[in-house]
C-alpha cells in the first residue's frame, strides 16, 4: 500500500465527515389538516377522510388522486413554490427516507385533524396536532442518527415550519352536538381551550428547534358550501364566521406573545380572512362565477360529503371558489397564498430564483405513491 497517497485521501474524507457534516438545504415541515394534507390519510386504511378517488388531483401532475383534498395545489404548496422551497412529501409516503427528509422536509398534515385530540373522531383515523408533533420527534431521531446531533440541530433550526389547523375543531367538534366539547363549553371558553392547547404545542415545537414558524388563520368557514347547504336560507352562517374571527384574533395575540418570549423565535400569523371573504362576496371581481357551491358534487343532491367518480364536475374549474363541500379550488388557493405572501413578505431562504407557478406541477412523491 502506498501510504503517501492514501493518507491524505483518508484525512480529507475524515475532515469532511467531522467538520463539514451535512450541507443541508432549508426545507419545510408542515403540520395541518385536509387543507394541507398531501397523502397521509390515504395510508390510513380506516380513515373516513381520504382524497384517494377521482376527481381529486385532476389538475395536478398526472391528474390522478394524490391525497390532496383539492383539484390542484394546497396553499402550502404554492407558498413553498414561491419561496423556492421543495415540496415536502407525506410522512406516511413509502418512499420517505432520511435522505428525502434532508432534501425535502416532511408534511405531517392529516385530513380531519385538529388542535384538540378529540376533534374529528367521527373520521375514525386522523392525526391530531399532538400526534403530528410526536411523529416529528421520531423524524428528528432518524436525522440525528444520520448526520449527528450538532448538524441535526442546525438543520431543524434553519427549517421553515407551517401550522395550519383549527377549522375542524369547530366544524367537526364544537359545532356538532355529538362531541362533548359542544355542550361543555361556551364560545369564549372553547376558544380559550384551543389557545391553551395551541400554546403548549407551539412551545413544544420551539423546544424541538422550530424558529421560523407561520400559523395560518381561519377563513370564513361559515361560507363553505357545507355550512351554506345546512343553513335554512342557503346563506353563510354568521355564528361560524364569528367563531373564525374570534379564533384568528386570539391566535394572532398568542403568536405575538410567543414571538416575544421564546428565544430566537420568528413566529408569524398568516390571516387571509378578509380577502377570502371578499372573494366569496364579490367573486366576479376575481374572475370567479360561483362562490357558494362546489365544483365537484352530485348536482342537487347536497351535501355530497366527498368528491368521487360518480360526482359531476363543473364545466370550468377555474371559475369556482370551492372544489368540494369543504375545500377551496386550486385557483382560490393561489389567491389565498398570494395574499399571505404579500402580508408576510416571504423571501427565498435558499437564495435561488423565485418563479411563480401558475399551473400545478408534480410533487416529488406523487409518482411513487401509485395513486
Cell of 141: 431521531
For residue 84, the Cα-to-chain-centroid distance in whole angstroms is 17
Q: Does domain 26-342 bear CATH number 3.40.50.10490?
A: no
pLDDT of residue 7: 44
pLDDT of residue 351: 59
Q: What is the pLDDT along the chain (371 residues), one digit of tens a residue?
A: 554 444 444 443 343 343 345 789 999 999 999 999 999 999 999 999 999 999 999 999 999 999 999 999 999 999 999 999 999 999 999 999 999 999 999 999 999 999 999 999 999 999 999 999 999 999 999 999 999 999 999 999 999 999 999 999 999 999 999 999 999 999 999 999 999 999 999 999 999 999 999 999 999 999 999 999 989 899 999 999 999 999 999 999 999 999 999 999 999 999 999 999 999 999 999 999 999 999 999 877 777 778 999 999 999 999 999 999 999 999 999 999 999 999 888 778 875 443 444 445 555 444 443 33
**Domain range list for the chain:** 26-342
CB 291 within 8 A of CB 283: yes
Q: Give Cα separations from 119 to 191, 218, 232, 251 (angstroms).
A: 14, 16, 26, 18
Please state the length of the chain: 371
Q: Give Cα separations from 221 to 27, 172, 225, 247, 308 (angstroms).
A: 30, 12, 9, 12, 23
CB 366 within 8 A of CB 62: yes
Cell of 243: 367563531
pLDDT of residue 362: 52
Does the active-site annotation cover 169? no
CB 207 within 8 A of CB 156: no
pLDDT of residue 355: 40
Q: Which of 37, 169, 324, 369 is catalytic?
A: 324
Q: Which of 59, 110, 206, 327 is catalytic?
A: 327
pLDDT of residue 157: 98
DSSP 126: -
Q: Which of 34, 36, 329, 365 is catalytic?
A: 34
CB atoms within 10 A of CB 4: 7
* Angstrom distance (rounded) from CA 310 to CA 166: 30
Does the active-site annotation cover 327? yes
* Angstrom distance (rounded) from CA 61 to CA 59: 7
pLDDT of residue 3: 45
Does the active-site annotation cover 324? yes
The pTM (predicted TM-score) of the whole model is 0.89
pLDDT of residue 366: 45
CB 212 within 8 A of CB 160: yes
Amino acid at each position: 500500500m502506498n501510504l503517501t497517497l492514501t493518507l491524505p485521501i483518508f484525512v480529507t474524507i475524515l475532515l469532511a465527515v467531522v467538520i463539514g457534516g451535512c450541507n443541508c438545504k432549508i426545507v419545510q415541515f408542515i403540520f395541518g389538516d385536509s387543507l394541507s394534507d398531501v397523502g397521509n390519510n390515504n395510508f390510513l386504511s380506516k380513515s373516513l377522510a381520504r382524497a384517494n378517488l377521482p376527481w381529486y388531483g385532476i389538475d395536478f401532475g398526472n391528474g390522478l388522486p394524490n391525497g390532496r383534498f383539492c383539484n390542484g395545489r394546497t396553499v402550502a404548496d404554492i407558498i413553498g413554490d414561491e419561496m423556492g422551497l421543495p415540496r415536502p412529501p407525506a410522512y406516511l409516503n413509502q418512499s420517505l427516507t432520511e435522505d428525502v427528509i434532508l432534501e425535502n422536509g416532511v408534511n405531517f398534515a392529516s385530513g380531519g385533524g385538529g388542535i384538540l385530540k378529540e376533534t374529528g373522531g367521527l373520521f375514525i383515523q386522523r392525526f391530531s396536532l399532538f400526534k403530528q408533533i410526536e411523529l416529528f420527534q421520531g423524524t428528528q431521531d432518524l436525522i440525528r442518527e444520520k448526520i449527528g446531533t450538532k448538524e441535526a440541530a442546525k438543520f431543524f433550526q434553519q427549517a421553515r415550519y407551517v401550522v395550519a389547523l383549527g377549522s375542524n375543531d369547530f366544524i367537526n367538534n364544537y359545532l356538532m352536538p355529538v362531541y362533548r366539547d359542544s355542550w361543555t363549553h361556551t364560545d369564549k371558553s372553547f376558544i380559550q381551550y384551543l389557545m391553551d392547547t395551541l400554546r403548549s404545542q407551539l412551545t413544544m415545537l420551539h423546544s424541538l428547534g422550530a424558529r421560523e414558524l407561520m400559523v395560518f388563520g381561519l377563513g370564513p368557514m361559515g361560507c363553505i358550501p357545507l355550512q351554506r347547504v345546512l343553513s335554512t336560507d342557503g346563506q353563510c352562517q354568521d355564528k361560524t364566521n364569528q367563531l373564525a374571527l374570534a379564533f384568528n384574533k386570539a391566535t394572532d395575540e398568542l403568536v405575538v406573545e410567543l414571538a416575544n418570549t421564546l428565544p430566537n423565535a420568528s413566529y408569524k400569523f398568516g390571516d387571509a380572512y378578509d380577502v377570502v371573504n371578499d372573494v366569496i362576496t364579490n367573486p366576479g371581481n376575481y374572475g370567479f362565477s360561483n362562490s357558494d357551491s362546489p365544483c365537484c358534487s352530485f348536482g342537487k343532491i347536497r351535501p355530497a360529503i366527498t368528491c368521487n367518480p360518480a360526482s359531476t364536475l363543473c364545466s370550468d374549474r377555474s371559475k369556482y371558489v370551492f372544489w368540494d363541500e369543504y375545500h377551496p379550488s386550486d385557483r382560490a388557493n393561489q389567491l389565498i397564498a398570494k395574499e399571505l405572501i404579500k402580508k408576510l413578505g416571504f423571501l427565498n431562504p435558499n437564495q435561488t430564483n423565485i418563479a411563480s407557478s401558475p399551473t400545478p406541477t408534480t410533487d416529488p412523491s406523487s409518482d411513487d405513491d401509485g395513486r
